[in-house]
A and B are shown apart, each in its own frame.
Chain A
């Protein structure tokens, strides 16, 4: 029988992962297993990947941005860099993310809406104009056509006279979570995995500082998962990529140091901090015990964090500044390597310049004023945090074993296992909100009568037409013989086992468009068609 607690607000206290939270934690709650915490910079990296962490250098402040045309996005990037942002993060529009040119029928209505429209190298040149690629690191949220956008970035670097060896940045390149949670897939899983391992192999030789993948739990969480599911499914996907690369003949310590991760920072403050610590420890163990990684950099889970977009409310949007502050603080206390803080108005529209500035200032205040960056892993040794870190690690390891039992992440996703689990958690969350078991300030409690928000950011409808005009001009101006030759060679290589990257790069240099390149691959690889199931 559960002990009655008449003096407490609730019968039981649980976090998003359904882990029961005790009234108070003490020495006996931290077992010798938790002693595996070690020191920052030491295996299993529970306390951080570097010994000095933010005493050496702050996390990279990296706001995800991109909208409309390359010209307008370039202006936003320059503004952010002037405001003290330290890295770029490029948001592409949906046609770009799914490999359609702006003149494709399916692109209509979507051009430039959730990010910048990129049809060819020409657009990429404008996007990066005046930005020194040897000094700025750039993260690109691109998955199915990641090889093409990376090739465009490399081609711009060539034109700037920057050697590939000096390029620094990240492509998301994580197709498995697209099938499971985000939706911008193109090709079937096996062919997608081949593209990914081709990128690993190419970059390990040519672009050694590039993060070749950002294995992302962010979107899994946004789709509704718990913190434990976020860790488990992300690391399961990570295992699948490592295995695919090994199967393709790569050596673990040649590519694993360039694997990076991307997590959400959600509403439950301590659960999130413990989640980041648990993910680091679990990945270090997986890389060492399962894959025999020797290089410490192969064992380190380095990650980017974004505050939880789905936790923003359209009601009383200024309250989101406080939510974002707490989530950003959790990411910093959890040892993130880079951070995006959401803007207050993102449940309503794309953020305005003013909102983005407040979001960036939030990070700067945490970094420069709060003092939390002066000490490494200040919560290490807390009875609660250490207990919770171990609980999350254990629960995530159980879920990973379950995915393994299905034959790994690819099989589990093909069978809809992750998708169903995520949907169930999302539905349970919604029910908690509607029953007011979970309070969302301004939404189901503390509401006020509000007038419609004014001054929201809008993407001009003329962007699509301008982009299409530009594209038509390019198609008639370029050397189409060279384009056709490059595409023919790409098609041939796609059908072979050779690495695709050199052929993609040549097609990009010839100003073949993203859509043309992806169409070649579609013809050889086919397209992914999911079976939709509702739980």
Chain B
């Protein structure tokens, strides 16, 4: 899993039926200091997050498993909202 900042939204009418009713966000993976890690991604939301939120997301094959009734074609799925980070300066 990684941290990410939601920076925008994508609308798509024509899509894989398994993605119907999924909100698709532009998500920039970031580190703890908000430095970007790699390219911005399109992510499926599962926790009613909103634009601007700091979230954590799961990638790879596990991203397909967020819904009980279907395996979705997603490789970036938002699984939680960050309320607060407690960081130790090392």
Report whether chain A binds chain B.
no
